[in-house]
Each structure stands twice: as structure tokens, then as C-alpha cells.
Amino acid sequence: MREQKEKNNGDVCEIEFVDEAKVNAVKTVMKSNGIIKNLAETFKALGDPTRLKIIFALSREELCVCDLARLLSLSGSTVSHQLRILRNMRLAKYRKEGKMAYYSLDDEHIGSLFEEGLRHVEEK
């Protein structure tokens, strides 16, 4: 019996009881599997330190590949590869001005998501 208590540390219910009202309330607003999958892919894309640095930089300034490469001490091809991933995930976009391509965040939600995550980790 003592071994059982040590295993679950009180982090699970000791009896089985389902609050159907709560379950049904959440079920009615639960997002579709497709939406949840897309969100998981977004978080997966944000799970790379280089891409997070790019997101941080783009949350402050619109930058070209050369600017980002210098800022992050990376090659232009490495930065381009990461930007392609961010563009494909609709996290970054670019605009052409003559021969230059300037990158920015796709929308304000990306910056907000990044800032919230940053606040969370900096609290500790």
C-alpha cells in the first residue's frame, strides 16, 4: 500500500467520478482535430532556438536575410532555410523592394505568442 502512495503522489483522483456538466461544457467548445494539429505544428516550428531568435528579431524590426545572418552569426543559406520554414507555417512573410526581400512576422498574433512565452519563462 505504501508503494502505491509513493507512485501516484496524490496527483490522480482516488475515486472515479466524471463531472458530466464540465466535460460537456468543454466538449462543445473543443477545437477540431485539424485546428489542434495545426497549432501543434506551429509550436513545433517554434521549438527551434534559431527560429525563435529570428522571431524575436522580426518582432523588433523588419530585416533581410543578410541582416539576420549578421545578427545571428549564421550563413545566409541557414537563415534562408529557417525563414522558409517560418513562411510555410505562416509565421513570417516577406516583401520585395527592388532586389531586396524584407522579412517580418506574418501578423501580430505571432509576436503576442512569442511575448507571452517569453514572459512565462522569464517569470521563473
21-43 pLDDT, tens digit each: 999 999 999 999 999 999 999 99
- How far is the C-alpha of 107 from the C-alpha of 54, rounded, in Å? 15
pLDDT in tens, 56-80: 999 999 999 999 999 999 999 999 9
pLDDT score of 7? 57
Cβ of 87: how many Cβ atoms within 10 Å? 14
Per the confidence metrics, is the pTM higher than 0.75?
A: yes
Average pLDDT for 89-113: 95
DSSP H/E element including 81: helix 76-88
pLDDT band at 2 (very low <50, low <70, confident <90, very high): very low
Q: How far is CA 119 from CA 6, 34, 107, 112, 115, in A?
A: 34, 28, 19, 10, 6
**Per-domain residue ranges of the chain:** 19-123
Class of the CATH-defined domain 19-123: mainly alpha
Q: Which has more confidence, 88 or 7?
A: 88
What is the per-residue pLDDT for 15? 87
Q: Check: CB of residue 69 under 8 Å from CB of residue 75.
A: yes
User: How confident is the model at residue 101, as a pLDDT?
Assistant: 95
Strand 63-64's sheet: what is its strand order? 63-64, 100-105, 92-97
